[in-house]
Amino acid sequence: MTKKRILVVEDEQAIADTVIHVLENEGFVVDWVSLGSDAIVSLSQEQYALMVLDVGLPDINGFEVCKNIRIHYDLPIIFLTARSEEIDRVVGLEIGGDDYVTKPFSPRELAARVKVILKRVNQASVEVTQSGRLQIAPSGCDFLLHNQLLSLTSIEFKLLQHMYQHTGVVMSRDQLLTAGGFAHDAGYERNIDSHIKSLRAKLRKFDDNEYIKTHRGFGYSLNEIA
């Protein structure tokens, strides 16, 4: 079986060495760069299963790196940062991050989070029933609408996939958190609305149907549109 390759973007060598060591012990192949610009180049040259991305890089802020990457790539991203303020975590998740680890951190915890995220990505490839014009892409990690890729982030994909598997059923924010495997006390709940807004914007690029309906005080549902 081919080992999954992970890109670590961290300017402090001691931290990078620790992350590389623990991930290689878990069976991953790890590449390391210390600059955001080098990370962007690396992604154009190699296919990665996941990226561990430091926010405080010397050349480009990690959030800006993430925004640039999300234009072209949908690999999972774990932010690594010395910041602990909630606003930083919220911003990181809203721009397409999948998780957020604050320094100092447990290397084993980081490795566990990497494995959990990759497991979710693998599980996303399961067969599901198609609903109207909307369907799972052959890659198993995105959706097609009118045979065009929506280019979803991994968080957007997991939320839409869960509603897709329960078309017509009202899903509460708490249920969507559970479906995504997110911690309920980590500031994710208020972000569900932001991710739904982003999903709607991507769906409306292809037609004006209201695929996702808001049920005030209850949650959201995916409409079945023929």
Unique residue bearing structure tokens 């958190």: 177
19 in the same domain as 105? yes
30 in the same domain as 84? yes
142 in the same domain as 55? no
| Domains: count for the chain | 2
What residues pair up with 77 in beta bridges, in sequence order? 51
From 195, 191, 187, 193, select the one nearest 154 (Cα to Cα): 195
Last residue of a domain, one of 97, 123, 149: 123
47 in the same domain as 67? yes
Handedness of CA 52, 57, 63, 69 (dihedral sign): negative
pLDDT at 78 (0 to 100): 93
Pinpoint the alpha helices (H) of the chain. 13-25, 36-45, 62-72, 86-94, 107-123, 154-165, 173-180, 189-203
The torsion defined by the Cα of 107, 109, 113 and 119, in degrees rounded to 10, comes to 100
159 in the same domain as 88? no
147 in the same domain as 212? yes
- Rg of the chain's alpha carbons, rounded to an integer? 18
175 in the same domain as 104? no
| Structural domain includes residue 178 | yes
The length of the chain is 226
> Which residues does 41 contact at the CB level (< 8 Å), separation at least 6?
none
119 in the same domain as 217? no
Domain of 211 in residue numbering reads as 134-222
208 in the same domain as 109? no
In order along the chain (226 residues), what is the average pLDDT of each group of 10 residues? 88 95 96 96 91 94 90 86 69 80 90 89 50 72 84 86 88 82 61 86 88 90 75
What residues pair up with 133 in beta bridges, in sequence order? none
pLDDT at 131 (0 to 100): 44
Which CATH number covers residue 59? 3.40.50.2300
Which CATH number covers residue 173? 1.10.10.10
